[in-house]
Amino acid sequence: MSDTFRLTFYGTRGSRTVPGAQAGRWGGHTTCLGIRAGSRELIFDAGSGIVPLGESLVRQHMSAAPQEVLRAYLFQTHTHLDHLCGLPYFIPLYLPLTTLWMLGPRTAHLSFQETIERLLHPPFHPVPLFEMPSLIRWGEIAEPTSALFVRGQHDPLLLNLKHPDQRALAPPPEEIEVAVHTLHGYNHPKCGVTIYRVEHAGRAVVFATDVEGYVHGDQRLIRFARGADVLIHDAMYTADRYANPNTPTQGWGHSTVEIAAEVARAADVGHLYLVHHDPGHDDARLAQMETLGQSLFPRTTSAFDGLSIDLLDTPRR
Ligand SMILES: [Zn+2]
Ligand SMILES: [Zn+2]
């Protein structure tokens, strides 16, 4: 079977969904990115976009291998509601054939599992997680932990590769099918955000949503994203609004198109995808922002719901 490294944007809006015709060409779902890497179904964030992702997963699974277990790995960047609001409606949770690994960062006072269990529980949701027929596996992931997917093994290995004792536990590179590395972004209120770098078949994708830049660029992020084939970066605003005294958005934990392009250029990435679109922006505004991005970093696309990229079809960096 031929190898795959495919990204699909299921939700590209930030903050809230956008209904019906107002959503326009870009679509109205909040953050969710699907990555098929080799044999693994990885999901990044459970915004409302995880609902169509779940339906598509079940459809594919039912036509390809209905007797087998449907395995998926959900990585959360953080637990703000725009990144979680689709989880209660993620159909695979309600199927006994599903095994879902949920991996994400702990917050100041709660483990990742406690955070999610509080949300999917009465009075917020009628069916608590422990009543669901699917099998849920938990993992806490944040810098400096990486998740390594070893060929032939279902459970990811969670290791701090910066520590020699843990590095010694890592299998040789040829046995690792997919590696997911983490960077903590301190610049998103109040608990920060986890930025992910997914590596497979010699290619790399960096997912940096809900990040805000720094003067001269976020040097830690630039280092983390260096040479990636794809950088997906928050670009909710433009510089004129960000710094406008009447509509200031500094400190809200989001970036401008200018900030995203600066990181892409400094990190020398292959392609930049802009995400976390302001729900108030219509097609005309988003097209303008895309053009602005392309004037600063030519290989820029403003990601829209349903956009899919086959990384192995694009020339190697
Ligand atoms: Zn957000
Ligand atoms: Zn957020």
* Pairwise CA distance, residues 166 & 149, whole Å: 15
The alpha carbon of 294 and the centre of ligand 1 are apart by a number of angstroms equal to: 23
The alpha carbon of 118 and the centre of ligand 2 are apart by a number of angstroms equal to: 18
CATH of the domain at 98: 3.60.15.10
* Pairwise CA distance, residues 166 & 145, whole Å: 10
Q: What pLDDT digit, counting tens, does each position of 216-275 carry?
A: 999 999 999 999 999 999 999 999 889 888 888 999 999 999 999 999 999 999 999 999
**List of residues 6+ apart from 254 with CB closer than 8 A:** 14, 210, 211, 212, 234, 236, 237, 276
The alpha carbon of 258 and the centre of ligand 2 are apart by a number of angstroms equal to: 20
Ligand nearest to the CA of 189: 2
Ligand nearest to the CA of 12: 1
The alpha carbon of 309 and the centre of ligand 1 are apart by a number of angstroms equal to: 22
Ligand nearest to the CA of 47: 1
Q: Phi first, then psi: give them for residue 160, nearest 5 degrees.
A: -90, 95
Ligand nearest to the CA of 191: 2
* Pairwise CA distance, residues 101 & 156, whole Å: 9
Whether residue 142 is predicted with pLDDT greater than 80 in this model: the reply is yes
3-class DSSP assignment, residue 129: helix
Per-residue confidence (pLDDT) for residue 107, from 0 to 100: 87
Going by C-alpha positions, the residue among 203, 205, 202, 206 that lies closest to residue 194 is 206
Ligand nearest to the CA of 236: 1
The alpha carbon of 118 and the centre of ligand 1 are apart by a number of angstroms equal to: 19
Strands 145-150 and 176-185: antiparallel
Q: What pLDDT digit, counting tens, does each position of 10-40 carry?
A: 999 999 999 999 999 999 999 999 999 999 9
The alpha carbon of 78 and the centre of ligand 2 are apart by a number of angstroms equal to: 7
The alpha carbon of 80 and the centre of ligand 1 are apart by a number of angstroms equal to: 7
Number of CB atoms found within 10 A of residue 22's CB: 11
**pLDDT band at 316; cut points 50, 70, 90:** confident
Q: What pLDDT digit, counting tens, does each position of 36-69 carry?
A: 999 999 999 999 999 999 999 999 999 999 999 9
- Which residue's structure tokens are 């007797």? 67
Strands 40-44 and 32-37: antiparallel
Q: Is 301 exposed, middle or buried (0-12, 13-18, 19+ CB in 10 A)?
A: middle
The alpha carbon of 65 and the centre of ligand 2 are apart by a number of angstroms equal to: 36
Per-residue confidence (pLDDT) for residue 68, from 0 to 100: 95
Per-residue confidence (pLDDT) for residue 49, from 0 to 100: 98
The alpha carbon of 317 and the centre of ligand 2 are apart by a number of angstroms equal to: 31
The alpha carbon of 159 and the centre of ligand 1 are apart by a number of angstroms equal to: 27
Per-residue confidence (pLDDT) for residue 53, from 0 to 100: 98
**pLDDT band at 312; cut points 50, 70, 90:** very high
Domains in the chain, number = 1
The alpha carbon of 80 and the centre of ligand 2 are apart by a number of angstroms equal to: 5
The alpha carbon of 210 and the centre of ligand 2 are apart by a number of angstroms equal to: 5
Q: What pLDDT digit, counting tens, does each position of 258-308 carry?
A: 999 999 999 999 999 999 999 999 999 999 999 999 999 999 999 999 999
Q: Is 158 exposed, middle or buried (0-12, 13-18, 19+ CB in 10 A)?
A: middle
Whether residue 1 is predicted with pLDDT greater than 80 in this model: the reply is no
The alpha carbon of 122 and the centre of ligand 2 are apart by a number of angstroms equal to: 24
The alpha carbon of 233 and the centre of ligand 1 are apart by a number of angstroms equal to: 12
Task: Write out the residue range of the structural domain in which residue 97 sits.
Answer: 5-313
* DSSP code at position 264: H
> What is the helix, strand, coil percentage profile of the chain, to 5?
25, 30, 45
The alpha carbon of 195 and the centre of ligand 2 are apart by a number of angstroms equal to: 12
Residue 134 token pair: 């699917």
* Pairwise CA distance, residues 302 & 12, whole Å: 9
Query: What's the whole-number average pLDDT of the chain?
Result: 96
* Pairwise CA distance, residues 244 & 311, whole Å: 38
**pLDDT band at 108; cut points 50, 70, 90:** confident
The proportion of the chain whose per-residue pLDDT surpasses 70, expressed as a percent, equals 100
Opening angle at CA 69, ends 68 and 73, nearest 5: 145
Per-residue confidence (pLDDT) for residue 315, from 0 to 100: 78
User: b vs e for 187-204, b when ≥16 Cβ sit within 10 Å of the residue's Cβ?
Assistant: bbeebbbbbbbbbbeebb
State mean pLDDT over 169-198.
Answer: 97
